[in-house]
Amino acid sequence: AGAAAATGGVLAGLAALPAAAIAGIAVAVVAVAASVAVVVQLATGGPPAAGPAPSDEASSHQTVSQAPSAASSPQTSATQPSDVPTAVAPTAVAPTVAPSDGAPTGPGQSSRLLAAAPAPARVVVTVPDGGLTLVAGQDDQPLAVGFTNLGDQPATNLAVDVTLPPGVSVAGLVEGNLIASGGAAVPAASTSWVCVRGSGDVAARCVVGVLAGGASAQLVLHVSVAESYDAADGSIGLRVAGDSIEASAPSVRVAFRPAPARIALRGSVPALTLVTGRSRSFAVVVANEGAVPTTSAAPARVQVSLPDGVRSSTTTSGPWTCAPGRGTVVCTGVLAGRTASTLALDLVADPGVEVRAGTVGITVGPTHLAGAAQVAYSVLDPARLTVEVPAEPGALALGSTRDVPVQVANVGELASQQVTVRLSRPEGAAWAGAASGDGWTCRIVGPVQLCTHDGMDPAGTSRLVVHLTGLAGRFGAVGDLGAAATADDADEGEPAAVALRATAPVVTVGTSGGRLLLTDGKVGTVTFSVDVAAGADASGVVVTVTLPPGISYASDFAAQTPGCAQGRSAREVVCDLGQLGAGTSTRVLVAAQAAGAATGSTGIAVAADGDVAATGSVPVVSSSGGLAPEVSFSGDVHVTQVGAPLLTCTPSSSCTSAVERGTADNNGQTMVPLDQRPPAGERPATRAVSSTTTLTVPEGEQVVWAGLYWSANAAAGDDWSTSRTAARIAGPGGAYEAVDGAVVADQKDSSGRSYYQSFADVTSLVQAGGPGAWSVADTAVATPGVQTGASSNYYAGWSLVVVYGTVGTGSSAARTVTVYDGGAWVDTRATTPAFEFATRAGSQATIGVVAWEGDRRVTGDQLLLNGTALTPRTWDGSSGSPSNAFDSTATGWGLMNSLGVDVKAFRPQTLTSDIGSLTPTTSGDLYLIGVVTVEAAAPQSP
């Protein structure tokens, strides 16, 4: 009953603690009747034998003495807070007195017993004879320590604080434990200890109300040792206290055995994707978490349960040995303690496997913890690539690109990586560049193209466009375009192919408007076109021109189509035109010269690759006032033209305004002879004229050719003041010299007015006189020529056209200069034929013109070069208006308005073809084109 009361007092003391104090020591109060996380079982003995108490030297126990209870009473108070469980006062025990000889006394010897004093409580700590041993890596291991009271007096309020080595902790509760709920202790038998978890370095604190004299109690701690604990030994600390006693026992040594081998999966195992017909690696990290290695006799063991239709092909992997096969695959290996190894299995799913998803079971051993896992798996078919080409891709054609689409698809269940499409072209076709497509990179390797793509998703498609063109001379069936797709770890689909055909070109000779134009003693040109229909280019085009009898090839004439040369005779000309584009019309100009009377027609034969041929002919005609080539030079040559009027308006303020500011035209003015520099000697009887202009030739340049042109008009009924073929010319500082020329243009307009232009070669005179002030006098002008009003449309003037530089051939032929002369009347009532000239495509062409009767104030007249209006230069070198190309501007003349005389150059323009087409137009002004100069600078080599 006393023991029960004492135990109850201990529980009452625990219950009396404030809640904060209980929480502060992480209270897990356990009253043990059977077994607890910290367990104390009280062993009681009989009355102690009479005699003296054992000495410290005679005992191996750690001793703790207790003073008489009277001395300890003031230290125990039920109302005094404490951080340890507090025991109640012990039940009084009747003292016993041993006889002096140590023999037991009977009832009749009470007087002797009263004479002996009871020995005070003395508590010692004991351990099992075999010592204390724990195993690393195991939970709930018992750690037993004994306590014995060697005194006669009971030990009261006995408390023990237990400290444990790092890595050792009090285990969790086990079956049968009783635990306080809400801070209230659970009553237990009087022979039980009451324990709570400690705080700080105290692992557990246990108290027992009374340990009777001579009695023993065993404290059994259930502890867990970390698997990583590697020390061979350690110690537990015990601090013992009670009423009137307090002592610390020595540390108790504990032996530790290393953690046994424990095989476990380390880290998470990702889901497994299997591919039919393909090997896929299944890797898990297997670790021996214990310190003891496995052995070949007791190896680490991994067991993998494979689904139906899946097999393992791996036999060894690192330290592992596996039995390949189906179903359950067992792998064994030797792993050192605390090491890990990757176990890799190559798994193959059979084609047509029925179960496409599930789990793969994995178990490992030996282990004393959970050693199994389930890994999700799925089975997919590999990527499989297909290609498709159109059944009717269309025909190929030389010179044009045929785009043939190739559709690439992934019909498998996995993405394909590094897709490659191999394209093979037909023998009779050519690649028109690398194939193209979104994400594709293609390179040409002879007749093959290799196109790569980073990858394609399942059910993904991608379009690849193949660019092809025809080959020269290959028509009809030309072979197959082939395509095949492959990719890393993908099934290859069937290749695709499509037959291709090539279209033949259609070539004709265009002779509409073509002719061989001959002027007395001058070079003429055979003009025609070679036309290629839309569809295909013509390659290897060669034109053979056969001139009629009496006409020979003028091979030295520069202004003709490049690539022409004399054939087997002087009458045969062969022009190599190379490749001509589909849908184009190529003008051809061949220079020819009459050796006598010529009649008939010029034969034309065209041949091209692939037995393509065409023929045609053009007639021989004489000049009818149109423009014909006068001279042509090549080399480092240039051309310039200057001029001046020979009539002016009657002196007045309005006349001054007209010539100085351009406020009026010659139309409506009373035009009178201009006699600026009269020559000496006999003059025409009426209307003597003269004027001066300035010729500029760069210093050091030689004059190659010079032509003098003069012109005037006359109304019906007028006479000419002198012969139209006669003129006088004077160089800088020199005397006039008479020249005899020829009329090269003789025109009449709808009102009956007559217009003429004459020409004389004055090369030697200009070479001798050089640049400077040149004058012309006494040319034919109208007489009387003084009508007023609407009939007063008179003009007269002259021009000096000069070619200078160095004539050369071959690489020195940087430019060509051609002078065309004659007469082309421009009227609103008829369309003026285009004037064509030959030069090289890409040339920078500068056009010069000598024209008559252009009006400054009448606009709408243009000079078109290949359809583009040219910009004229004005008398001071600035740019004029393209819509008033013939505005009475004479280069070299000292006044703005030359009253019906145009001598000027236009701004350069780049030619886009080998034939230049020059067309004068008008919407109101009437004028006569007398001279055209073409200076063409050859294109620069890249």
Average pLDDT over residues 658-684: 90
Tens digits of per-residue pLDDT, 673-702?
999 999 998 898 889 999 999 999 999 999
Q: Which two tokens stand for residue 638?
A: 């240039």
> What is the DSSP code string of 102-138?
-----GGGHHHHTTSPPPPPEEEEE--TT-EEEETT-
Hey, which bits of 646-736 come out as E strands?
Answer: 647-649, 671-673, 690-695, 703-714, 719-720, 726-730
Distance of CA 240 to the CA centre of its chain: 80
Q: How many CB atoms lie within 10 A of CB 427?
A: 11
Shortest CA distance to 358 belongs to which of 279, 271, 240? 271
Lateral strand order in the sheet of 272-275: 272-275, 372-380, 357-365, 300-305, 328-333, 320-322, 316-317
Tens digits of per-residue pLDDT, 404-430?
999 999 999 999 999 999 999 999 999
Shortest CA distance to 529 belongs to which of 419, 476, 465, 606? 606
Average pLDDT over residues 435-462: 95
Cβ neighbours for 566, distance < 8 A, ≥ 6 positions apart = 553, 555, 572, 573, 574
Hey, which bits of 786-926 come out as E strands?
Answer: 796-807, 815-826, 835-838, 844-852, 862-865, 868-869, 901-905, 909-910, 915-921
Cβ neighbours for 769, distance < 8 A, ≥ 6 positions apart = 731, 732, 734
Pick the more confident residue, 760 or 514.
760
**Residue 194, amino acid:** V
Backbone angles phi, psi at 811, to 5 degrees: -70, -20
Burial state string for 701-731 with b = 16 or more CB within 10 A and e = fewer than 16? eebbbbbbbbbbbbbeebebbbebbbbbbbb
Check: CB of residue 738 under 8 Å from CB of residue 726: yes
Q: Which two tokens stand for residue 437?
A: 């497509």
Check: CB of residue 847 under 8 Å from CB of residue 870: yes
Q: 485 in helix, strand or coil?
A: strand
What separation in angstroms does the CA of 890 have from each of 662, 799, 855?
A: 13, 9, 12
SS (H, E, C) 397-435: ECCCCEEEEEEEEECCCCCEEEEEEEEECCCCEEECCCC
pLDDT at 820: 86
Residue linked to tokens 């054609």:
397
The pTM (predicted TM-score) of the whole model is 0.47
In this predicted structure, the answer to whether residue 172 has a pLDDT above a threshold of 80 is no
**Residue 252, amino acid:** V
pLDDT at 574: 97
Average pLDDT over residues 778-795: 79
Burial class (CB in 10 A: 0-12, 13-18, 19+), 556: exposed
Range of lowest pLDDT (100-109, 138-147, 500-509): 100-109
Shortest CA distance to 667 belongs to which of 652, 644, 654, 649? 649
In this predicted structure, the answer to whether residue 8 has a pLDDT above a threshold of 80 is no
In this predicted structure, the answer to whether residue 81 has a pLDDT above a threshold of 60 is no
In this predicted structure, the answer to whether residue 107 has a pLDDT above a threshold of 70 is no
In this predicted structure, the answer to whether residue 187 has a pLDDT above a threshold of 50 is no
What is the Cα–Cα distance from 777 to 775, expressed in whole angstroms? Answer: 7
Q: Which two tokens stand for residue 359?
A: 């789990």
Q: 274 in helix, strand or coil?
A: strand
**Residue 335, amino acid:** L
In this predicted structure, the answer to whether residue 311 has a pLDDT above a threshold of 90 is yes
Range of lowest pLDDT (459-463, 501-505, 798-802, 915-919): 915-919
pLDDT at 791: 61
| HSE (side-chain half, CA atoms, 13 Å) at 787 | 18
Range of lowest pLDDT (123-137, 604-618, 750-764): 123-137
In this predicted structure, the answer to whether residue 614 has a pLDDT above a threshold of 90 is yes
In this predicted structure, the answer to whether residue 33 has a pLDDT above a threshold of 60 is no
In this predicted structure, the answer to whether residue 666 has a pLDDT above a threshold of 90 is no
| Most confident segment among 57-61, 72-76, 216-220, 713-717 | 713-717
Range of lowest pLDDT (111-120, 326-335, 668-677): 111-120
Q: Which two tokens stand for residue 415?
A: 């993405």
pLDDT at 523: 79
- First-to-last C-alpha distance (Å) of the chain: 123
The conformational region for residue 766 under phi > 0 = left, psi -120 to 50 = alpha, else beta, is alpha
In this predicted structure, the answer to whether residue 933 has a pLDDT above a threshold of 70 is yes
Give 310's pLDDT tier (boundaries 50, 70, 90): very high
| Most confident segment among 151-165, 504-518, 595-609 | 151-165
pLDDT at 189: 35
Pick the more confident residue, 710 or 112.
710
In this predicted structure, the answer to whether residue 647 has a pLDDT above a threshold of 50 is yes
Q: Considering only the C-alpha atoms of the chain, give the largest distance between any 2 of them, rounded to a whole number of Å.
A: 202
Give 186's pLDDT tier (boundaries 50, 70, 90): very low
pLDDT at 519: 64
Average pLDDT over residues 628-641: 88
Tens digits of per-residue pLDDT, 748-780?
988 889 999 999 999 999 999 999 999 999 999
pLDDT at 118: 87
- Return the percentage of the chain with pLDDT > 90, whole number: 50
pLDDT at 252: 87
In this predicted structure, the answer to whether residue 256 has a pLDDT above a threshold of 60 is yes
What is the Cα–Cα distance from 766 to 705, expressed in whole angstroms? Answer: 8
Pick the more confident residue, 660 or 601.
660
Check: CB of residue 163 under 8 Å from CB of residue 201: yes
In this predicted structure, the answer to whether residue 36 has a pLDDT above a threshold of 50 is no
Q: Which two tokens stand for residue 916?
A: 């230049």
Residue linked to tokens 């297909």:
386
In this predicted structure, the answer to whether residue 35 has a pLDDT above a threshold of 50 is no
SS (H, E, C) 844-878: EEEEEEEEECCCCCCCCEEEEECCEECCEECCCCC
**Residue 352, amino acid:** G
In this predicted structure, the answer to whether residue 105 has a pLDDT above a threshold of 60 is no
- Mean of pLDDT over the chain: 81
pLDDT at 712: 97
Pick the more confident residue, 114 or 16.
114
pLDDT at 787: 63
In this predicted structure, the answer to whether residue 9 has a pLDDT above a threshold of 60 is no
pLDDT at 316: 73
Radius of gyration over every alpha carbon of the chain, rounded to an integer in angstroms: 63
What is the Cα–Cα distance from 697 to 732, expressed in whole angstroms? Answer: 13
Range of lowest pLDDT (279-288, 349-358, 736-745, 802-811): 802-811
Give 149's pLDDT tier (boundaries 50, 70, 90): confident
Tens digits of per-residue pLDDT, 828-847?
887 777 777 777 788 899 99
Q: How many CB atoms lie within 10 A of CB 859?
A: 17
> What is the DSSP code string of 312-325?
E---EETTEEE--E
What is the Cα–Cα distance from 471 to 125, expressed in whole angstroms? Answer: 110
Burial class (CB in 10 A: 0-12, 13-18, 19+), 603: middle
Average pLDDT over residues 239-252: 75
| Most confident segment among 520-529, 542-551, 788-797 | 542-551
Check: CB of residue 819 under 8 Å from CB of residue 889: no
Tens digits of per-residue pLDDT, 883-903?
999 999 999 999 999 999 999
